[in-house]
Amino acid sequence: MAITLCVLLWAVDGEADTLEEYETEVLALVPRHGGRVLERMSNVAHTDDADHGAVQPTEVQLIEMPDEDALAAYMADPDRAARSDLRARAVARTEIMRVRPVG
């Protein structure tokens, strides 16, 4: 059964561009595991200051994966793991929600 994820990402202060670079690289791996990036959006109100950075995410993504095995394979992908240093520098916080359409 397909899984749809809503991913919220907060950048480390001053690293919004690095977060975008990292996500561009790892999201390119999603199709390798049968998934699709349905939507990827940058928060236009986001700034790297304390007023917004801690409250609002820098980026929001909707990702569809065919099943749990595909999601696990993506998360364990060696090419994704090879970018862990870049992720540590760029991503302060991640929240992942499993979502479904309403109606």
What would the pLDDT profile of 41-59 be if each residue is shown by its tens digit? Answer: 999 875 555 445 568 999 9
With respect to residue 102, please indicate whether it lies within any of the assigned structural domains.
no
Least confident of 33-47, 64-78, 87-101: 33-47
CATH number at residue 55: 3.30.70.100
Domain with 72, as residue range(s), is 3-97
Q: What is d(CA 41, CA 90) in angstroms, rounded to the nearest whole number? A: 17
C-alpha dist (Å) from residue 60 to 19, 57, 69, 82: 12, 7, 23, 23
With respect to residue 55, please indicate whether it lies within any of the assigned structural domains.
yes
- Say which residue, 69 or 46, is predicted with more confidence: 69
With respect to residue 51, please indicate whether it lies within any of the assigned structural domains.
yes
With respect to residue 103, please indicate whether it lies within any of the assigned structural domains.
no
Look at the chain and report how many structural domains it folds into.
1
